[in-house]
Amino acid sequence: MKKTSSQWPAWVLPVGMIVVVIVAFAWMARSVLLGASPIFVLGAVYTTLLFRQVPQTSRASMVMLLALPLTFYSWLSVEDSLGIPAAASWGLGFIAGALGSGRPWSGKRPRTADPQEAKSNAKEVEAVGSRRLLPTVAGCVAVLIGGGLAHLAFQSPTAAVAAVLAGALLCGWALFRFPPSPLTRNMLLLVVPVEFFLLAFLGGNTSQPALPFAWAYGALAGVLLGGHYWSGPLRGTPRPPFSADIKRRRQRKKVRRSQDRPKSKVVPTGRR
């Protein structure tokens, strides 16, 4: 079926919407455009990578999606001291990045984790977590730790905030590096938002507003650090605690089954 001349190319709509978002940002931040532009660009780049590159690993994708409202709240908490509409600039950058990441400009779709491809290429992958995924996970961890350090350095440079950031990083790492049962782990994950609000109340009373952000960024970074196997056996092989003596147990079961086979009854020849 031939396209008529009245039909527009598919890229016209996303490009037009991106232009509208950029114009709205320029009008909103017209008096502080020079200071707000880097935040807009950061939001666009963050969202583009989130929807184009990060979906290769499901855990990093989920963590960075949970970090989206956290980053918005971070900019909202510092925009009075910066004197620019930081949260709105970040939000408009997020919209522009989301529109740009949804269009396959290069003809390639966003890269996602494919279980069938992982099984077929298991022999070609070097390590658990894969070297191909290592830069993605390491970049996400760097962004999260950078967010916590930024709050520590520019908002509340105190020993308490540094201790909360280090403790949250250690707790998140231990929870996913030495995982308990799924129910226990999910219950412990509920501590993260509860502790965030408690530290927000404590930080407001002690003039340390960076306490909840240090906790949240540190916990999310620890989850990625502990949940990703940076080195180890090939992908597809059992991981601890499921990798201990699996072959030996299977061999024992096979031997027992061979020994426990019921002996065939020998019917005397004289009887019918």
pLDDT at 263: 54
At 56-81, the pLDDT tens digits run: 788 888 899 999 999 999 999 988 88
At 123-159, the pLDDT tens digits run: 433 344 456 678 888 899 999 999 999 999 988 889 9
Please classify residue 138 by burial: count the beta carbons closer than 10 Å to its beta carbon, then call 0-12 exposed, 13-18 middle and 19+ buried: middle
Q: Is pLDDT of 40 > 60?
A: yes
At 206-245, the pLDDT tens digits run: 889 999 999 999 999 999 888 766 665 544 455 555 444 4
DSSP assignment string, 96-163: HHHHHHTS-TTS-PPP---HHHHHHTTTT--STT-TTTHHHHHHHHHHHHHHHHHHHHHT---HHHHH
Q: Average of pLDDT values for 184-197?
A: 89
CA distances, 265 to each of 260, 262, 272 (Å):
15, 9, 14
Q: Name the range with the highest mean pLDDT among 109-118, 158-167, 173-182.
A: 158-167
Q: How far apart are the C-alpha atoms of 57 and 77, rounded to whole Å?
A: 30
As given in the structure block, the two tokens for residue 33 are 């455009």
pLDDT at 109: 55
Mean pLDDT, rounded, of the chain: 78
pLDDT at 218: 94
Any idea how long the chain is? 272
CA distances, 251 to each of 146, 236, 239, 246 (Å):
50, 20, 19, 9
Q: Average of pLDDT values for 263-272?
A: 54
Q: How far apart are the C-alpha atoms of 168 and 133, rounded to whole Å?
A: 24
Domain segments of the chain: what residues? 12-111, 127-234
At 84-114, the pLDDT tens digits run: 999 999 999 999 988 888 655 555 555 555 5
pTM of the complete model beyond 0.75: no
